Amino acid sequence: MVVDTIRLYRSTIGKKAVMAVTGAALFLYVVAHMIGNLAVFAGPDALDAYGRWLRDIGVVWPVRVGLLAAVVLHFVAAYQLTARARRARGRYRHRRVVQGSYAARTMRWGGVIIALFVVYHLLDLTVGVLNPNGVPGAIHANVVADFQHWYVVLAYTVAVLALGFHIRHGVWSATQTLGVTTSRVVGLGVAVVVCAGFLSVPFAVFTGLVS
């Protein structure tokens, strides 16, 4: 199979295919991340040991490089398509949205919110400079220190919900772009599962279930 990459990428559908493939990679990472987070419920040692294990098997840096590449490609294609859509679409005096879901209409700004959150999230729990505890390797203690504060819980909740909406339309839209249509319910289902998984951690800490 030979992919005529340049001509494909020049077309709007080709850019969308890049977004679909990179979006799928990011989605798989998000799911793995969400499942890994659940180690917090197995006690302080389990989460810290999980973090050490990821480093020991040497997946951290390859995954980071892959994620960065996916984010850059995803963003560039999105930016180009957005600029193109802004030029193409008509401006009406009176406009009513007929059917489009909230998730579909907020993909662009939702993506920006997620990107800004990722920067904060990295400074908080990866680099540690924005974390109230901020001890490298003490993942459980850092997480618990974070979610004592309502504003941190709020920031994570907003970001996870934005991610949920992004996934809801993104999963379905990606399959449509790659020519294999699934039901929109699939997108909604995985979005709910991902949201519930991610939000379980801050709320468990905030309510004292995990300490």
Q: Which residue has the tokens 């003490």?
A: 138
What is the DSSP secondary-structure string of 57-85? TT-HHHHHHHHHHHHHHHHHHHHHHHHHH
Binders of other proteins in range 53-82 (CB under 8 A): 81
Which one of residues 61, 62, 98, 208 is an interface residue with other proteins (CB under 8 A)? 98
24 contributes a contact to other proteins by CB under 8 A: no
Q: Which residue has the tokens 């890994």?
A: 36
State which residue, 9 or 50, has the beta carbon closest to other proteins.
9
Smallest gap from residue 34 Cβ to other proteins (A): 24
* Site track 152-181 with other proteins (rule: CB under 8 A), x = hit: -----------------x--xx-xxxxxxx
* Site track 78-97 with other proteins (rule: CB under 8 A), x = hit: ---x--xx-xxxxxxxxxxx
The crossing angle, in degrees rounded to 10, of helices 60-88 and 12-37 is 140
2 contributes a contact to other proteins by CB under 8 A: yes
Contact 23, 174 (CB under 8 A): yes
Which one of residues 66, 101, 118, 128 is an interface residue with other proteins (CB under 8 A)? 101
| Cα–Cα distance for residue pair 203/146, rounded to 1 Å | 11
State which residue, 74 or 169, has the beta carbon closest to other proteins.
169
State which residue, 60 or 83, has the beta carbon closest to other proteins.
83
| Cα–Cα distance for residue pair 68/95, rounded to 1 Å | 38
What's the one-letter identity of residue 156? Answer: Y
The residues, any chain, with a CB within 8 Å of residue 35's CB and separated by 6 or more, are 197
| Cα–Cα distance for residue pair 124/142, rounded to 1 Å | 9
Which one of residues 17, 40, 152, 195 is an interface residue with other proteins (CB under 8 A)? 17
Binders of other proteins in range 102-161 (CB under 8 A): 104-105, 107
DSSP 1: -
Burial of 118 (0-12, 13-18, 19+ CB in 10 A): middle
What's the one-letter identity of residue 172? Answer: W
Binding segment (CB under 8 A) for other proteins, from list 5-13, 39-47, 133-141, 190-198 = 5-13
State which residue, 12 or 207, has the beta carbon closest to other proteins.
12
Query: Interface with other proteins by CB under 8 A: which residues?
Result: 1-5, 7-8, 10-17, 81, 84-85, 87-101, 104-105, 107, 169, 172-173, 175-181
